[in-house]
């Protein structure tokens, strides 16, 4: 299998002396037209990987900010087919690696083989599926792998070392470490035990480590040093746009 685009983007950021930036934005937010303006701004603003949310009616891992935004996208008619079609029209436009984050039901309904083929055609490099457990991930991982796409493992504070090792065995792209027990959303502080758990993740995984859920500001990363290679932020970006800001102005703070 070819080298992972997502790993490459993170390593390029590290080589430049910084952590990779992975903003999250629901597909079709804040509306269908402006979404692609904001996507362009994230790419131009220094995003190394862009995580695009596939709106779903029962987003069990999402906090209130992301859930509200995703539901508004559904009401505006955003769906997986539309998103893949629009991305396909823009293939080659983005330097950042593109990842689709969504729940298994829409992907399964689409058809895993068709999903992998159409995602590759749209320039997508990987998927994050919060409700797809390791034991059931084989068919999707196989379908994606046929087209050189990564299925990103999602692990956290309550993931046992044995299970971490199982995820690490076939990990590609990067590993997404969930910083809190609960849903997405901004938090003023992060659990102290993250550092010790990240040391275990770092030891077991051969791919870059991204930290997400609860990340509000760059200052929160100082406690983790070299244990973290990349940072994922979503709720803070969505709230910024809802308050009248833009992706461009948000990225200025993270670029330093």
- Catalytic (active-site) positions: 51, 62
Following CA atoms 247, 249, 254, 256 in sequence, which dihedral angle do they give, to the nearest 10 degrees?
Answer: 150
Q: What are phi and psi of 89, to 5 degrees?
A: -65, -25
What is the maximal distance between C-alpha atoms in the chain?
Answer: 45
> In whole angstroms, what is the distance from residue 36 CA to residue 18 CA?
26
By 3-state DSSP, what share of the chain in percent is helix, strand and coil, each rounded to 5? 50, 15, 35
Q: What are phi and psi of 28, to 5 degrees?
A: 90, 5
> In whole angstroms, what is the distance from residue 108 CA to residue 124 CA?
17
132 three-state secondary structure: coil
Q: Are 213 and 194 in contact (CB under 8 A)?
A: no
Q: What are phi and psi of 202, to 5 degrees?
A: -60, -40
Count the neighbouring beta carbons within 10 Å of the beta carbon of residue 154. Answer: 22
């Amino acid at each position: 299998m070819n080298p992972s685009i997502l790993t490459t983007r993170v390593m390029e950021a590290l080589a430049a002396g910084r952590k990779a930036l992975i903003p999250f934005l629901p597909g079709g937010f804040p509306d269908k037209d402006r979404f692609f303006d904001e996507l362009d701004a994230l790419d131009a603003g220094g995003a190394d990987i862009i995580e695009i949310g596939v709106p779903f009616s029962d987003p069990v891992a999402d906090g209130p900010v992301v859930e509200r935004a995703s539901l508004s996208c559904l009401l505006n008619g955003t769906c997986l087919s539309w998103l893949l079609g629009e991305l396909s029209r823009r293939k080659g436009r983005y330097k950042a690696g593109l990842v689709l984050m969504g729940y298994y039901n829409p992907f399964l309904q689409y058809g895993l083989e068709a999903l992998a083929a159409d995602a590759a055609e749209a320039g997508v490099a990987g998927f994050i599926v919060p409700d797809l457990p390791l034991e059931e991930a084989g068919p999707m991982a196989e379908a994606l792998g046929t087209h050189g796409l990564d299925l990103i493992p999602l692990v956290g504070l309550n993931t046992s070392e044995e299970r971490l090792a199982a995820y690490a065995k076939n990990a590609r792209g990067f590993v997404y470490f969930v910083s809190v027990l609960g849903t997405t959303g901004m938090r003023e502080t992060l659990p102290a035990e993250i550092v010790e758990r990240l040391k275990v993740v770092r030891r077991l995984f051969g791919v870059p480590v991204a930290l997400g859920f609860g990340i509000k500001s760059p200052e929160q990363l100082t406690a983790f040093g070299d244990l973290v290679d990349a940072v994922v932020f979503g709720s803070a970006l969505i709230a910024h746009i809802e308050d009248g800001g833009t992706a461009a102005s948000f990225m200025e703070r993270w670029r330093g």
